Amino acid sequence: MKTKNSTRRALILKVAFAGLSVCAAQLSSAANLTIATLNGPAMLELKKLSASFEKANPDIKLNWVILEENVLRQRATTDITTNSGQFDVVAIGTYEAPQWGKRGWLVPMSNLPADYDLDDVVKTARDGLSYDGQLYGLPFYVESSMTFYRKDLFQAAGLDMPDQPTYDQIKQFADRLTDKAKGQYGICLRGKAGWGENMAYVSTVVNTYGGRWFDEKWNAQIDTPEWRKAINFYADLLKNDGPPGASSNGFNENLTLMSSGKCAMWIDATAAAGTLYNKSQSQVADKIGFAAAPVAVTPKGSHWLWSWSLAIPKTSKSQDAAKKFVTWATSKQYIEMVGKDEGWASVPPSRKSTFARPEYKQAVPFGDFVLKAIESADPNDPSLKKVPYSGIQFVGIPEFQSFGTVVGQAISGVVAGQTDVEAALKAGNAAADRAVKQAGYQK
């Protein structure tokens, strides 16, 4: 016969075990997300504001891995191709998303909440992040390329920047505005080696000079008159009118130079406007003018199309939580948060409704221009002559990461004075030819 004490003890134990079971259930439902992203201003703002996401979702803990652009690409590619499952969310772009989605490496971005309003996201960004009609990354921001310039320096020199400059005009302006004794450089351009660093910009120069990476039979076209003319122009421009150490400058380094008043002109991503027009981050916020990316022989491929997106590897063990975060980070709600925290100039543009907002139009005077550049960039028709690949500032095949980096290193070496254009292009052509031959593209 049970005593009252034994009954009481049994009840206490039962309640304790029930409590432990609840705790265990809570622990098992908690998610630790590791997010790999780049060290750009927009992504750093995302990390800052993500505290509000964690507050609203106490069962989700965010761990951030912030990396320099080239390193991020290497780490993300290694993680996804080896199935290591280190990351739950990765920042990737229009180069990786369709290829990785095709191979089944990414979680499809389907069954999104009704209030997400996917149709509001710029269509060219959605298309660029899709394979066979399926979206594999949610655009964090979408960009093209354009010319930024110092209105005050142009006015003082009696120069007028046309809406659509040519590269010959850019050279003339740069020559006039370079004053190295004052630490003032006529032009800043990407020189840092990398398929997504210097080659993102250099490819657009090659395109507009009439060049292409491959002909229709996948024969490399790097060692050609068009490439030689483009690279000689680019390298000479940086050597004569660029800052010292230009071969080490990528997007972030040039953003710092431009926002601190060192550059008279800079041709790069439209996304840079968020910093350049932000008075708390730019010393020349009220002096920045804008124009289209320059052209030479043809306007085709003179401006790029890119979208940094947030994607979820199939190896993530917390896919539902990851999708919840990615959806929040690319939502209209998040855009509102950035507008209130940093100002509308710093909002990452990816939605038509953002470009239409009066606050955004006032903060970013060229919003309509940017949207037109984004919507008119055609990755399927990037050059004067026909090509077998898709992509404006890249070749949309897996092998491009390898040979694009080799070519980028060779051209960076030209800017640094370590090699000449002829040698660089011969080496690049051999690397590209070898890569596509081994992969079976050449028949």
At 251, the amino acid letter reads F
Neighbours of 380 (CB within 10 A): 11
Neighbours of 190 (CB within 10 A): 29
Mean pLDDT of the residues in the chain: 92
- C-alpha 94/C-alpha 382 separation (Å) is 15
The CATH architecture annotation of domain 31-143+306-363 reads 3-Layer(aba) Sandwich (3.40)
352, with CB counted inside 10 A (0-12, 13-18, 19+), is middle
Q: Are 295 and 208 in contact (CB under 8 A)?
A: yes
- C-alpha 422/C-alpha 234 separation (Å) is 14
Q: What is the dihedral of CA 31, 32, 38, 42, to 10 degrees?
A: 60
Lowest mean pLDDT segment, chosen from 143-157, 356-370, 424-438: 356-370
Which pLDDT belongs to residue 310? 98
Lowest mean pLDDT segment, chosen from 3-17, 76-90, 256-270, 408-422: 3-17
Burial state string for 312-351 with b = 16 or more CB within 10 A and e = fewer than 16: bbebbebeebbbbbbbbbbbeebbebbbeebbbbbbbbbb
Has residue 18 got a pLDDT over 80?
no
Q: Are 209 and 297 in contact (CB under 8 A)?
A: yes
What is the tens place of the pLDDT at every residue in 109-130? 999 998 999 999 999 999 999 9
Burial state string for 271-306 with b = 16 or more CB within 10 A and e = fewer than 16: bbbbbbbbeebbebeebbbbbbbbbbbebbbbbbbb
Q: Are 196 and 92 in contact (CB under 8 A)?
A: no
In which band, very low, low, confident or very high, does the pLDDT at 15 lie, cut at 50, 70 and 90?
very low
- Residues 2-8: what's their mean pLDDT? 51
Which pLDDT belongs to residue 443? 77
Residue 135 per-residue DSSP state: E
Which of 198, 185, 255 has the alpha carbon at shortest distance from 393?
198
- Residues 68-75: what's their mean pLDDT? 94
Which pLDDT belongs to residue 229? 98
- C-alpha 327/C-alpha 259 separation (Å) is 31
Which pLDDT belongs to residue 20? 40
Has residue 27 got a pLDDT over 50?
no
Q: Are 65 and 36 in contact (CB under 8 A)?
A: yes
Q: Are 62 and 37 in contact (CB under 8 A)?
A: no
Which of 226, 145, 219 has the alpha carbon at shortest distance from 433?
219
- C-alpha 403/C-alpha 407 separation (Å) is 6
Residue percentage of the chain with pLDDT more than 70: 93
In which band, very low, low, confident or very high, does the pLDDT at 12 lie, cut at 50, 70 and 90?
very low
52, with CB counted inside 10 A (0-12, 13-18, 19+), is middle
In which band, very low, low, confident or very high, does the pLDDT at 9 lie, cut at 50, 70 and 90?
low
Q: Are 343 and 359 in contact (CB under 8 A)?
A: no
What is the tens place of the pLDDT at every residue in 164-185? 999 999 999 999 999 999 999 9
Which two three-digit tokens encode residue 1? 């016969």
In which band, very low, low, confident or very high, does the pLDDT at 364 lie, cut at 50, 70 and 90?
confident
Which pLDDT belongs to residue 13? 44
Has residue 215 got a pLDDT over 60?
yes
- C-alpha 41/C-alpha 197 separation (Å) is 16
- Residues 273-287: what's their mean pLDDT? 92
Has residue 19 got a pLDDT over 80?
no
**For the chain, domain boundaries:** 31-143+306-363, 145-303+389-438
| H or E element, residue 20 | helix 4-29
Question: What pTM does this model have?
Answer: 0.89
User: Angle 105-109-113 (CA atoms, 0-180°, nearest 5)?
Assistant: 155
Which pLDDT belongs to residue 3? 52
377 CA to centre of own chain:
15
What is the tens place of the pLDDT at every residue in 369-387? 889 889 889 999 999 999 9
- C-alpha 154/C-alpha 102 separation (Å) is 48
What is the tens place of the pLDDT at every residue in 78-109? 999 999 999 999 999 999 999 999 999 999 99
- Residues 201-221: what's their mean pLDDT? 98
13 CA to centre of own chain:
57
Which pLDDT belongs to residue 28? 42
Which pLDDT belongs to residue 2? 47
Residue percentage of the chain with pLDDT more than 90: 86
Which pLDDT belongs to residue 111? 93
User: Angle 280-281-282 (CA atoms, 0-180°, nearest 5)?
Assistant: 105
The CATH architecture annotation of domain 145-303+389-438 reads 3-Layer(aba) Sandwich (3.40)
